[in-house]
C-alpha cells in the first residue's frame, strides 16, 4: 500500500508547498458550519446554504463514491504588495495571478498520474479546488496540513496562509503517517487579525461574519453596500488581505517560491476601472479568477474607493 511519505515526495516535486493525507471522510467542524449558517453569516451566498450542498459537506463519500483517502495540498502564492498611487485601487493578491483553479487542477491531475505509475491497481480520483461543496479548511485541518487561525485562515507554520487548498479524493487506500493529530491552536494570545479588520467582521475568534467582510462585500454582495461599511472599505475593489497581512505567521514565512507569476495589475487606476465596459473588462479579467465579480460590481467598488480617497484628502 502507498504511504503518505511517497505521496508527499511526489507532491513536493510537482510544486506544492506541503501535502497531507486523511482517511477520515467526516468533517470535524460540521457543527461550526451549521452554526455559521444559522447566524446568517453567509449572507447572500446561497451556494453555502442550499440543501444539496449542505448535505454534501457532511461526508466526502458524496463527492466521490468509495473515497478511501483524501490528499490535501497547499499551493502557495505571492504576498500582496502595498505599492499604490493616489488614485489606484487594491486587488487582492490571490487573483492577480493565473487562475488558481486551472493551475491547481492540472497539478492535482499530475499527482494522480504519478501515483498511477507507482501502483498496480486501478483507482478513481476527483480533483477539487474551491469547486465543490467541501469544507476545505476543515479537510486541511483533519489531514494535519494546517491549523485554523483566529482569522479562519488555514495556516501552515513556516509557510503562512498565502496558499490555496486543493484536494484529491481517491478510492486508493493510502497509509497515513503516525504523527498523531497535529491540530492545535497556533494563534496563542495573538489577536492581530481580529484587531486589524476595518469592518470588525470577526464576531469572535475563528468565526467570520461574511456580511461584514470586505472580501464578501467586494466580490459576492450584489447591490448597494451600507454606507457605514463603505467608509471602511478603503480602496479595496476585489477581495481583502488585511487579516493575513498582519498575521505573524506570514511575516516569518519561508514558503517555497510561488508557482504563480504576477499576471495582472494589483493596483489598477480607479478612473480606468470606472470607464471599463464589456470588452475592456473581459481583457482585464482574462486568465485570472477575477470574473467572479462583474464589471458592474467592479465599477461600484471603484466608485466607493474614489469616494474614500476624496474623504481622506
Positions annotated as catalytic residues are 130
Could you report how far apart the first and last alpha carbons of the chain are, in Å?
Answer: 65
Give the total of residues touching ligand B12 (CB under 6 A). Answer: 37
Q: Tell me which residue has cell 454582495.
A: 221
Helix and strand totals (H; E) in the chain:
13, 10
Binding of ligand B12 by 297 (CB under 6 A): no
The interface region with ligand B12, picked from 2-10, 118-126, 128-136, 169-177 by CB under 6 A, is: 128-136
Shortest Cβ 229–ligand B12 spacing (Å): 13
Give the residue, chosen from 125, 216, 249, 281, that forms a contact with ligand B12 under the rule CB under 6 A. Answer: 216
Give the residue, chosen from 89, 239, 258, 268, that forms a contact with ligand B12 under the rule CB under 6 A. Answer: 239
Binding mask 252-291 for ligand B12 (x = CB under 6 A): ----------------------------------------
Distance CA 145, CA 139 (A): 9
Shortest Cβ 279–ligand B12 spacing (Å): 26
Per CB under 6 A, contacts with ligand B12 among 83-112 are: 92, 94
Binding of ligand B12 by 136 (CB under 6 A): yes
Distance CA 267, CA 235 (A): 9
Per CB under 6 A, contacts with ligand B12 among 16-75 are: 29, 32-33, 36, 45, 48
C-alpha cell at 131: 469547486
Shortest Cβ 84–ligand B12 spacing (Å): 16
Q: Which SS3 state, helix, strand or coil, does residue 203 take?
A: coil
Give the residue, chosen from 63, 72, 111, 208, that forms a contact with ligand B12 under the rule CB under 6 A. Answer: 208
Which is closer to ligand B12, CB of 143 or CB of 213? 213
* Strand ranges, E, within the chain: 2-3, 18-22, 69-76, 90-91, 125-128, 147-148, 154-155, 163-170, 174-175, 236-238
* Strand ranges, E, within 8-66: 18-22
Shortest Cβ 97–ligand B12 spacing (Å): 12
Q: Tell me which residue has cell 499604490.
A: 84
Of the candidates 254, 74, 71, the one whose C-alpha atom is nearest the C-alpha of residue 177 is 71
Distance CA 116, CA 172 (A): 10
Give the residue, chosen from 111, 134, 229, 242, that forms a contact with ligand B12 under the rule CB under 6 A. Answer: 134
Shortest Cβ 45–ligand B12 spacing (Å): 6
Which is closer to ligand B12, CB of 206 or CB of 263? 206
User: What is the dihedral sign for C-alpha 174, 177, 180, 186?
Assistant: negative
Shortest Cβ 1–ligand B12 spacing (Å): 28
Q: Sheet of 18-22: strands edge to edge?
A: 18-22, 69-76, 163-170, 125-128
147-148 and 154-155: which strand pairing?
A: antiparallel
The interface region with ligand B12, picked from 82-90, 171-179, 216-224, 272-280 by CB under 6 A, is: 216-224
Distance CA 276, CA 268 (A): 11
Give every CB contact of residue 226 below 8 A, 6+ residues apart in sequence. Answer: none
Binding of ligand B12 by 215 (CB under 6 A): yes
Binding mask 137-176 for ligand B12 (x = CB under 6 A): xx---------x--xxxx------x-xxx-----------
Contact residues for ligand B12 (CB under 6 A)?
29, 32-33, 36, 45, 48, 92, 94, 129-130, 134-138, 148, 151-154, 161, 163-165, 185, 206, 208, 210, 213, 215-216, 219-220, 239-241, 243
Amino acid at each position: 500500500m502507498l504511504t503518505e511519505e511517497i505521496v508527499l515526495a511526489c507532491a513536493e516535486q510537482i510544486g506544492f508547498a506541503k501535502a497531507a493525507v486523511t482517511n477520515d471522510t467526516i468533517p470535524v467542524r460540521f457543527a461550526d458550519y451549521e452554526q455559521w449558517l444559522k447566524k446568517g453569516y453567509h449572507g447572500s451566498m446561497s451556494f453555502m446554504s442550499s440543501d444539496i450542498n449542505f448535505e454534501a459537506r457532511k461526508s466526502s463519500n458524496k463527492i466521490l463514491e468509495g473515497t478511501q483517502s483524501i490528499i490535501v495540498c497547499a499551493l502557495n502564492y505571492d504576498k500582496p504588495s502595498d505599492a499604490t498611487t493616489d488614485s489606484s485601487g487594491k486587488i487582492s493578491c490571490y487573483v492577480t495571478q493565473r487562475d488558481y483553479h486551472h493551475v491547481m487542477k492540472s497539478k492535482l491531475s499530475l499527482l494522480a498520474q504519478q501515483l498511477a505509475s507507482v501502483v498496480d491497481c486501478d483507482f478513481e480520483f476527483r480533483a477539487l479546488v474551491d469547486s465543490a461543496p467541501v469544507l476545505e479548511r476543515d479537510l486541511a485541518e483533519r489531514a494535519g496540513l494546517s491549523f485554523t487561525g483566529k482569522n479562519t485562515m488555514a495556516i501552515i507554520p513556516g509557510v503562512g496562509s498565502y496558499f490555496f487548498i486543493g484536494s484529491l479524493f481517491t478510492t486508493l487506500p493510502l497509509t497515513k503517517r503516525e504523527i498523531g493529530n497535529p491540530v492545535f491552536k497556533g494563534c496563542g494570545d495573538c489577536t492581530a487579525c481580529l484587531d486589524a479588520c476595518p469592518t470588525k467582521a470577526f464576531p469572535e475568534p475563528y468565526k467570520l461574519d461574511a456580511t461584514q467582510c470586505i472580501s464578501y462585500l467586494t466580490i459576492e454582495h450584489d447591490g448597494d453596500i451600507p454606507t457605514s461599511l463603505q467608509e471602511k472599505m478603503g480602496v479595496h475593489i476585489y477581495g481583502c488581505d488585511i487579516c493575513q497581512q498582519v498575521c505573524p505567521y506570514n511575516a516569518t514565512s519561508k514558503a517555497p517560491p510561488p508557482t504563480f507569476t504576477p499576471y495582472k495589475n494589483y493596483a489598477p487606476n480607479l478612473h480606468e476601472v470606472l470607464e471599463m465596459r464589456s470588452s475592456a473588462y473581459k481583457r482585464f479579467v482574462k486568465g485570472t479568477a477575477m470574473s467572479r465579480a462583474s464589471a458592474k460590481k467592479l465599477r461600484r467598488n471603484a466608485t466607493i474607493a474614489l469616494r474614500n480617497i476624496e474623504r481622506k484628502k
